[in-house]
A = this chain, B = another copy of it.
Amino acid sequence: MTNDHRPDPATTDDLVTPTLVVDRGAFDRNLAAMDAVRPGRELRPHVKAFKSTDLARRLADDGHDVFCAATVREIEGMVAAGLGQDLLLANESLDVARLGALADEANITVAVDSDATLAAAIDGGVRSVLIDVEVGLPRCGCSPDDAPRLAEAARAAGLEVRGVMGYEGHLMMVGDRAERIDRVGAAMELLTAAHDRVGGDIVSGGGTGTFDTNTWCTEIQAGSYTLMDTQYTTLDLPFELALGVLATVISVSPKGWIVVNAGLKSLGMDHGDPSWPGGEVFFCSDEHTTLRPAEGSSWAVGDRTILHPAHVDPTVAKHEAMWVCDGDRIVDRWAVDLRGW
């Protein structure tokens, strides 16, 4: 009896709340803004941001037909949806035999940063790798100096080495644009130097925050720009908030607050509370958010309103589908079919 079991909803009033809604106009404008800077395969959309093959297909139709992902499950789902012509697992995994098993039906490349992850790729039947290089973010990636050795070991085992990747995630939120350009440049010098010694066609990196300032990579790994969140809107980016969590007012207090039925189980909370155009967010509970409406506004039980999440990726991952809307009219449903691991 959730939304998915109801007969075709026509407007947002027909939806069980809380649920995800996508503003089609804002979404289309976000795609156009990215296309203007990163057309076609200069962008490798990151499916982790939206976890939906329906949305991915929309990007492929626009010419962005190569993708990257953060989990084995995401790659499996993309292959099953017929979107497997060039997929990159932009992450280390020891569970890659699941991807090797798909090597005859899809073109899958896996990131490696150690002998152990390379051995897993070889043993698992993976045919192509990228060497993942650490460029300043304290996370995965080998040292730039170790990259050529790993590439050689991969080639010796018969694998194709398609190039390098390096994620400057620590620089996505540098507020000053000039500083961002400088620091991204320094990080990417490490990556391109490694690439000179590794070879291959690909230098993969970047994200929504550096989509236009990272001019060193051959392809940018961005996904959040499609839907956006309030964290990224603090930067000077040309993307709009397209995703919201639709909620229903379930209680109106005489003391001045109202309560909606979308809480922290329907919102990614790692970057803090959501934003609400109608006033202030007081606090989130599991299935509630208490709001302080703007002066002079009037709210009643049953009214519907939209919260904008601080972080889009984990928000989407909490839902089964996104409803694409033109105003209040529902024009499409995108399944969030790449959840789990």
Given A48-B286, A285-B139, A313-B286, A261:B318 Cβ within 8 A: no
User: Is A17 engaged at the interface, CB distance under 8 Å to the other chain?
Assistant: yes
| CB pair B251 A139 closer than 8 Å | yes
- The residue that A317 contacts in the complex, of B18, B19, B48, B265, with Cβ under 8 A, is B265
| CB pair B19 A341 closer than 8 Å | yes
Quote the shortest CB–CB distance from A22 to chain B (angstroms): 18
- From A28-36, A112-120, A154-162, A327-335, the one touching the partner chain is A112-120
User: Is A143 engaged at the interface, CB distance under 8 Å to the other chain?
Assistant: yes
Interface SS majority for chain A: loop
User: Is A297 engaged at the interface, CB distance under 8 Å to the other chain?
Assistant: no
User: Within A241-263, which residues are at the interface with B (CB < 8 Å)?
Assistant: 248, 250-255, 257, 259, 261
Q: Give Cα A92–Cα B287 distance, bound, in whole angstroms.
A: 10
Given A19-B341, A141-B251, A91:B169 Cβ within 8 A: no
| CB pair B98 A1 closer than 8 Å | yes
User: Is A320 engaged at the interface, CB distance under 8 Å to the other chain?
Assistant: yes
Quote the shortest CB–CB distance from A189 to chain B (angstroms): 19
Given A300-B116, A313-B265, A253:B134 Cβ within 8 A: yes
User: Is A64 engaged at the interface, CB distance under 8 Å to the other chain?
Assistant: no
Given A114-B251, A259-B139, A287:B91 Cβ within 8 A: yes
Given A284-B270, A287-B70, A250:B140 Cβ within 8 A: yes
Q: Give Cα A231–Cα B146 distance, bound, in whole angstroms.
A: 41
* Chain B residues whose CB sits within 8 angstroms of the CB of A143 once the complex forms: 254
User: Is A269 engaged at the interface, CB distance under 8 Å to the other chain?
Assistant: yes
Q: Give Cα A265–Cα B91 distance, bound, in whole angstroms.
A: 15
| CB pair B70 A16 closer than 8 Å | no
- From A71-79, A177-185, A197-205, the one touching the partner chain is A71-79
| CB pair B251 A113 closer than 8 Å | yes
| CB pair A341 B18 closer than 8 Å | yes
User: Is A7 engaged at the interface, CB distance under 8 Å to the other chain?
Assistant: no
Q: Give Cα A117–Cα B270 distance, bound, in whole angstroms.
A: 32
| CB pair B139 A288 closer than 8 Å | yes
| CB pair B140 A288 closer than 8 Å | yes
- The residue that A114 contacts in the complex, of B19, B252, B288, B290, with Cβ under 8 A, is B252
| CB pair A251 B286 closer than 8 Å | no
Q: Give Cα A320–Cα B318 distance, bound, in whole angstroms.
A: 12
| CB pair B341 A139 closer than 8 Å | no
| CB pair B138 A286 closer than 8 Å | no
Given A254-B143, A265-B314, A341-B17, A138:B70 Cβ within 8 A: no
User: Within A1-50, which residues are at the interface with B (CB < 8 Å)?
Assistant: 1-3, 16-19, 48
Q: A-B pairs with the 5 shortest C-beta distances? A: A116-B301, A269-B270, A92-B250, A140-B251, A70-B287
Jot down 14 A-B pairs with beta carbons below 8 A, ordered by A.
Answer: A16-B95, A48-B287, A70-B286, A91-B288, A94-B248, A117-B250, A139-B251, A139-B259, A139-B290, A169-B285, A264-B270, A270-B284, A286-B314, A317-B318
